[in-house]
Structure 1
């Protein structure tokens, strides 16, 4: 059997937090995680586009790519989902094909052990049970796994494993051993593998067994649905955002959960009574007339989280550029001049930036490759201190990250696990004027493009008496003023009169040349 790492990062987002705020409308639910009065994370779920992570589908393999050691699987979405060989449970996949024999296409992992290749594990047209581990991002389809995991309040169930593990966030050794003993003793009755989540610390034996029974019933239900479901359909949908918050986010440090919808509040109380009884007294309904996000300044924070520039308290600032390939973060001293010397000024700015960057990564949900350009520091001691400060600030982030030491070029390279779209991608779309480039052509550039287009048309069409150019106002103004001499020269050269007409609805880069 294939085993999963003994950690609950993939399903557990429990973290130190003071308050959770919920703004619920019929079409959208927003959840804000506030720590020490400061917004740290925001989760948004819309009725038209719910997240897919955690959903289980009965899929059909539509294409196998040996060169990529991957397959594309139709699960009923707009784009086929991606399944890598490393995410396939070998024994289950082999049995599903019906033979379990090698076809000779075998890799070695360097220790003499046989590693199946993609063509051994799946074939086109095959129906398989898969779970979404990463939402569709940009132009990429969803990422899948056949290692289905099902979370409950205290546990994560691993149907295809026999492992028993405890979250690394539970540090007390005696408690870890107690939890392992309880789960191991009950495993002989229930089967499968289990990971005790952070919320399981201190849980009673009976509560853990009740979770195991619940997970067994749920898995049996999923299997039954999968047997009769058609390929490309969902067989298990994860909880809505409101219930997921109670299951995954609440912990001992949560002072209260405030929600501005009475109906949602009542539904949360019923859910908490069954699954999180200790939270009932901390779930509050907010009846105020002033929107709850306005009351806590969340709306202003969200607006700032969509800007490229992040102001630091010292006067310095960050510039965050998010692209499809990676995210780059540049630090500048700005108006901060310090009190002692330049090196000390740079050091303090970088230390403050390290804290701000960790928060911005969570708030904006930035993932993938991230390059941080700290201000150059001469002192090795200062470089190490800034690096350690960044690592420590990232400890509060539930998303797994990997940070490299400061490079020879003074850059910090890191990756952060991404399972859902960034805040910018959820709330925004590419600019229709610049098509997401972030810049547009100057009026002068567009003028010269129009000159070339007029020349092309004059050569292509004979007998034209007049050209009418429709363009943006600033382009027409430039043509009739600074470029008027060039227009007159062009008219004389092609022997055709040129007229201009400003179109207020045209963006700068749009123009049309009409033959009269």
Structure 2
């Protein structure tokens, strides 16, 4: 599998495209005016404790107060030694953990999304290329994606030996997937870097007053190198000379083995025109995803969950209905896994595959979805096919989806996706005239509305207008307001 990373940097925003086999798989956008804050560490102040929700609001200097649940607050009595627990964890009373006005060092785990403030934790984690450092924790973990047992043992032993040789280690580590096959020297260099960084954070915490930021994660174009570049990555192309220089400094210091893969792109053709990235981003904002066979997938993102529906569309198959449905569902499973990554959809996701009678077909479609999701950088959890024929899954959500970053709710339909018909608005106008006529005295009425509504009132509804005039004994005039939406109207007393 060939893989390329394209980085488009402008003064107002940075965009990153992950392309696999010539097809866009993931897109990231960071705007200068509205940067994501996931991973940032703040010294905040507890603004309000909510015993009924076992949570608290914390002022970290943002427009909206951030939210922290009791389960995300490390106990202040030191009983928790940071070791992973197999049993269910009891959530203590939030009032025993926090009080209003208290200073608190927290890290953002979720960006503010919609009307919700940022989500916080006191369980800090500081990532680098190969490791994640966790202050106050006393164990070494390892990514489940590293499957080779010998390699897992080697990496864990290297780190545990280095920790044992230190008089005092201020925290534990998680070994990231990128560490697979990396030399002991590089792992230890990463470890030393993280400990130096942690000490600088501690020093800053002691000298700033809440609310204040004490650690800010790397900008998107450097995070991309830290988190996305892998041995199978063929090229990383950057269209900004200044950003390319900064990336090269980072690469030489932390991932020198990838130095030859990073290049400056000076081409006249915009970098996102390569592999039709711009077109694919535009398609990712649509509800409908067309499948090559002729079938299609409908994706609807709501506040509570994302629902995905599959239809055969124009695909009629060749053998029988069951085979047609099976092939459509298989193709949809591949397309859905890509769309989840590309659109960065998170939370609860419900997939309504076309009903399959054959249990073997259900198993193969489910396995295909699982296999494709293995390439997802976000953590996913998937259930089997339910009695209703639905597949339920979750995908970890830490930042806004692509649609939430690039779009806003339609001011005309208020995000519903539908408008009242001209007929419906006309009948609302009739009811409003009757209501106003009962409440006020007027010689006549003027209805101001959109062109489509006025045209209908003067044409298809002309008889009904005449009957209404006779009933109330007053004349009704109409005026087109070109800036009114289809649902807007006013009844003016004359």
Alignment match, 1:477: 455
Alignment match, 1:42: 27
Deviations along 1:179-204, one digit per CA (max 9) or x if unpaired, are 11221122131511011112222322
Alignment match, 1:208: 187
SS at match of 2:448: strand
SS at match of 1:116: coil
Deviations along 1:123-171, one digit per CA (max 9) or x if unpaired, are 1111110000111111111111101000112111011101112222222
Shift of 1:401: 1.2
Shift of 1:27: 0.3
Structure 2, gaps ≥5 residues long: 80-84
Alignment match, 1:180: 156
Q: 2:133 aligns with which of 157, 161, 167?
A: 157
Work out whether 1:405 is the aligned partner of 2:378: no
Shift of 1:288: 1.0
Shift of 1:17: 6.1
Q: Tell me the number of residue pairs that the alignment of Structure 1 and Structure 2 aligns.
A: 486
Deviations along 1:77-105, one digit per CA (max 9) or x if unpaired, are 12111111111111xx347xxxx9xxxxx
Shift of 1:111: 6.9
Looking at structure 2, the residues matched to 322 and 73 of structure 1 have their Cα atoms a distance apart, in angstroms, of: 29
After superposing the two structures, state which structure 1 stretch, 224-233 or 257-266, moved more.
224-233
Q: 2:205 aligns with which of 226, 236, 241?
A: 226
Alignment match, 1:68: 53
Shift of 1:480: 0.5
- The structure-2 alpha-carbon separation of the partners of 1:112 and 1:248, relative to structure 1 and needing over 3 Å to count, comes to closer
Q: 2:445 aligns with which of 449, 453, 467?
A: 467
SS at match of 2:355: coil
- The structure-2 alpha-carbon separation of the partners of 1:17 and 1:418, relative to structure 1 and needing over 3 Å to count, comes to farther
Work out whether 1:350 is the aligned partner of 2:297: no
Alignment match, 2:404: 425
Q: 1:137 aligns with which of 105, 113, 116?
A: 113
- The structure-2 alpha-carbon separation of the partners of 1:146 and 1:492, relative to structure 1 and needing over 3 Å to count, comes to same
Looking at structure 1, the residues matched to 382 and 89 of structure 2 have their Cα atoms a distance apart, in angstroms, of: 31
- The structure-2 alpha-carbon separation of the partners of 1:388 and 1:22, relative to structure 1 and needing over 3 Å to count, comes to same
Work out whether 1:147 is the aligned partner of 2:123: yes
Alignment match, 1:487: 465
Work out whether 1:290 is the aligned partner of 2:269: yes
Looking at structure 1, the residues matched to 213 and 146 of structure 2 have their Cα atoms a distance apart, in angstroms, of: 34
Looking at structure 1, the residues matched to 317 and 254 of structure 2 have their Cα atoms a distance apart, in angstroms, of: 53
Shift of 1:117: 2.4
Alignment match, 1:368: 347
Structure 1, gaps ≥5 residues long: 1-15, 101-108
- The structure-2 alpha-carbon separation of the partners of 1:452 and 1:115, relative to structure 1 and needing over 3 Å to count, comes to closer
- The structure-2 alpha-carbon separation of the partners of 1:263 and 1:112, relative to structure 1 and needing over 3 Å to count, comes to closer
Paired residues for 1:7-406 under 5 Å: 18-90=3-75, 93-94=76-77, 116-188=92-164, 189=166, 191=169, 192-406=171-385
TM-score (norm 1): 0.91
Deviations along 1:8-37, one digit per CA (max 9) or x if unpaired, are xxxxxxxx8610001111101100001111
SS at match of 1:165: strand
Looking at structure 2, the residues matched to 388 and 117 of structure 1 have their Cα atoms a distance apart, in angstroms, of: 42
Shift of 1:114: 6.7
After superposing the two structures, state which structure 1 stretch, 484-493 or 48-57, moved more.
484-493
Looking at structure 2, the residues matched to 345 and 56 of structure 1 have their Cα atoms a distance apart, in angstroms, of: 52
SS at match of 1:376: coil
Shift of 1:296: 1.8
Work out whether 1:436 is the aligned partner of 2:421: no
TM-score (norm 2): 0.95
Shift of 1:65: 1.8
SS at match of 2:106: strand
CA contact (8 A) 1:476 1:501 kept: yes
CA contact (8 A) 1:58 1:230 kept: yes
Deviations along 1:51-88, one digit per CA (max 9) or x if unpaired, are 11100001111122222221111111121111111111
